[in-house]
């Protein structure tokens, strides 16, 4: 049994009293059974891993589009980027979000109880919005440039900005993974004993 699952109560000594009191943990919104919790956690970790993997592919394609030695390879890299990447990335981001929501609501972690969960929620939402509003709309232009590049077409401004999505997303997702593993910073609000710790 994981350490955070051990029991729903634990002793806490309010500062200055020297007496142990029993602090009751807030219950989850719904109880996720052990089997379901593990299944959803596997889906969550796999989708987060897939998302990171797709970001690495984006980085490789962007770097190939910029630095490959022949125009034919550069053009193919941009076409592959425009054709294959955005929807799988959005799908993995949404699965990660949905499974994260189920894990938060179905366990004592909650969605807005612990900083590490709340920050991951914000990161996931912001990244989804960026995929839809900042990355996807430029993809037609990137694909067209990839097709026309071997014929000597000039690069549109979208091409210069392509370094940002993989850099921002990989940084944010690595940070989210560190948060998931380290679970730092305790609670958002004080509990009844006045503590913000777990």
- Residues at the site binding ligand HEM, with contacts judged by CB under 6 A: 37, 41, 44-45, 48, 96-97, 100-101, 103-104, 107, 109, 111, 117, 120-121, 123-124, 173, 176-177, 180-181
Q: Quote the tokens at residue 38.
A: 């593990």
Q: What is the closest distance, in whole angstroms, from the C-beta atom of residue 124 to ligand HEM in the complex?
A: 4
| Rg value, the chain, Cα | 22
Six token digits for residue 123: 């990161």
Closer Cβ to ligand HEM, 20 or 112, answer by number: 112
Handedness of CA 37, 38, 41, 46 (dihedral sign): negative
Residue number closest to ligand HEM, CB atom = 100
Task: Report in angstroms the alpha-carbon separations of 10 from 4, 6, 16, 40, 44.
Answer: 11, 10, 18, 27, 29
- Shortest Cβ 57–ligand HEM spacing (Å): 17
Smaller CB distance to ligand HEM: residue 74 or 120? 120
Q: Which is nearer to ligand HEM, 19 or 34 (CB)?
A: 34
Q: Residue 67 or residue 175: which is nearer to ligand HEM going by CB?
A: 175
**Which residues are within 8 A (CB) of 113 and not within 5 positions of it... i.e. 6 or more apart?**
26, 187, 188, 189
Q: Is the dihedral of CA 31, 33, 38, 42 positive or negative?
A: negative
Long-range interactions of 152-157: CB distance < 8 A, separation 24+: none
CB of 76 to ligand HEM, least distance (A): 30
As a whole number of angstroms, the distance between CA 83 and CA 142 comes to 9
Specify the residue, 161 or 174, whose C-beta has the smaller distance to ligand HEM: 174
């Amino acid at each position: 049994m994981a350490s955070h699952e051990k029991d729903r109560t634990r002793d806490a000594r309010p500062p200055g009293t020297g007496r142990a009191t029993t602090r009751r943990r807030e219950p989850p919104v719904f109880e996720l059974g052990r089997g379901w919790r593990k299944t959803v956690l596997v889906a969550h970790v796999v989708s987060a891993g897939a998302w990171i993997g797709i970001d690495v592919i984006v980085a490789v394609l962007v770097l190939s589009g910029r630095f490959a030695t022949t125009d034919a390879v550069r053009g193919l890299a941009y076409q592959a980027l425009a054709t294959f990447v955005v929807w799988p990335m959005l799908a993995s981001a949404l699965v990660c979000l949905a499974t994260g929501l189920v894990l938060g609501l179905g366990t004592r972690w909650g969605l807005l109880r612990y900083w590490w969960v709340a920050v991951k929620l914000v990161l996931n939402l912001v990244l989804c919005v960026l995929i839809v509003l900042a990355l996807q709309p430029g993809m037609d232009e990137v694909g067209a440039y990839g097709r026309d590049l071997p014929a000597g077409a000039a690069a549109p401004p979208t091409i210069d900005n392509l370094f940002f999505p993989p850099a921002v997303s990989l940084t944010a997702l690595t940070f989210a993974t560190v948060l998931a593993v380290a679970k730092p910073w305790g609670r958002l609000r004080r509990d009844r004993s006045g503590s913000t710790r777990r």
